[in-house]
Amino acid sequence: MLSFIETKNSVDKELYEVEMILKNMGKDFNSGLTKDIFDYFFKVPGKYLRPLLIILSAKTIKPNMTMEQKKKLIELSVAIELIHSASLVHDDIIDNDLIRRGQKTLNNVHGRKIAVLSGDIFYAKAFSILLKLPTMEEKRIITQVIEEMCIAEIEQARNKEISREDYLNIIKGKTAVFMSACCKLGAKAAEANEDEIIKLEEFGLNFGMVYQIVDDCMDGDCNAIKNNITIENAKEFAIKADEAIENLETSIYKQGLISLLNYVIDLSNREIKKA
């Protein structure tokens, strides 16, 4: 089975293109501060999990894509990473977080007002990319994701102490639906059939549940939930994710999707051993 690093290496050319577009995006602006904000935020890349889901899902279906399909894949990945980045900026404001990816958050550097507007312009840049895509389907999928993310964040902000059912619904809306959409977008870019799309969507949904449960448990947030959620619950969703794509043709890219799943579970196992 591939490691997380090997998984990224299997699509390193595509990820490099995504990273370079994001790092150079500040050049699109005449405003010195706006350019500085883009340069500052994207100089330290994240894990690129969402672009990875898009690219690996596409290549699971069609390892050798046309130049036009690859171009669309990169555009989708950049737009998705911008949307994810916008949500992180707004989350940092809501939670008053001061550090992200080893550097000061935008609200820490520039204050809440400019940070809010920074998140907004990340969204705007994502939408400008999506408008250039030839079909409405991608736009519909992504706008639905943003709507569900916002609804879930509102519900989370409203409730200080939430039930198990509430928690699972919230993380489905704010994380799992997004990751499911990434897999769907990748599958559709590769012209997958309906059965293949459904399998990859299901993988992404369960992967997203795993990721958010592990992330919350590592942060200690699971303790605030009635009927405690544990890492064992994450492993149950991991089994569902694995089963969702077991009948897809085996390839290095399908193995890459499974390795992402194992990477997240391994994070939780290492945290448990430290405790």
pLDDT band for 267, please (50, 70, 90 cuts): confident
Mean pLDDT (whole number) for 12-20: 96
Evaluate if pTM is beyond 0.85.
Answer: yes
d(CA 183, CA 175): 13
Count the neighbouring beta carbons within 10 Å of the beta carbon of residue 178: 25
Token pair for residue 129?
Answer: 């990319």
Number of structural domains found in the chain: 1
d(CA 217, CA 167): 12
Lowest-pLDDT range, 56-60, 97-101, 172-176, 191-195? Answer: 97-101
Token pair for residue 123?
Answer: 């969204």
pLDDT at 240: 98
pLDDT band for 223, please (50, 70, 90 cuts): low
Look up the CATH number of the domain holding residue 41: 1.10.600.10
| Amino acid, single-letter form, for residue 234 | A
Q: Residue 110 belongs to what domain range? A: 4-274
C-beta separation of 14 from 65 below 8 A: no
| Amino acid, single-letter form, for residue 237 | F
Three state DSSP letters for 62-113: CCCCCHHHHHHHHHHHHHHHHHHHHHHHHHHHHHCCCEECCEECHHHHHCHH
CA-CA-CA-CA torsion sign (105, 225, 229, 173): negative
Token pair for residue 59?
Answer: 């290549």
pLDDT at 172: 98
C-beta separation of 226 from 232 below 8 A: no
C-beta separation of 201 from 183 below 8 A: yes
pLDDT at 188: 96
d(CA 151, CA 10): 35
C-beta separation of 80 from 185 below 8 A: yes
pLDDT at 143: 95
DSSP 8-state secondary structure symbol assigned to residue 246: T
pLDDT band for 222, please (50, 70, 90 cuts): low
pLDDT digits (tens, 9 = 90+) for 181-216: 999 999 999 999 999 999 999 999 999 999 999 998
Residue 274 reports pLDDT greater than 60: no
Contacts of 50 (CB under 8 A, 6+ apart): 77, 80, 81, 84, 178, 179, 182
For 31, phi then psi, to 5°, come to -65, 125
| Amino acid, single-letter form, for residue 233 | N
pLDDT digits (tens, 9 = 90+) for 159-177: 777 888 999 999 999 999 9
Between 84 and 271, the more confident residue is 84
Token pair for residue 233?
Answer: 């619950």
pLDDT digits (tens, 9 = 90+) for 23-55: 999 999 987 999 999 999 999 999 999 999 999
Mean pLDDT of the chain: 92
Residue 227 reports pLDDT greater than 70: no
Residue 224 reports pLDDT greater than 60: no
Burial of 109 (0-12, 13-18, 19+ CB in 10 A): middle
What residues pair up with 103 in beta bridges, in sequence order?
Answer: 100
In 3D, which of 217, 218, 221, 213 has the Cα closest to residue 241? 213
Mean pLDDT (whole number) for 67-91: 96
pLDDT at 273: 42
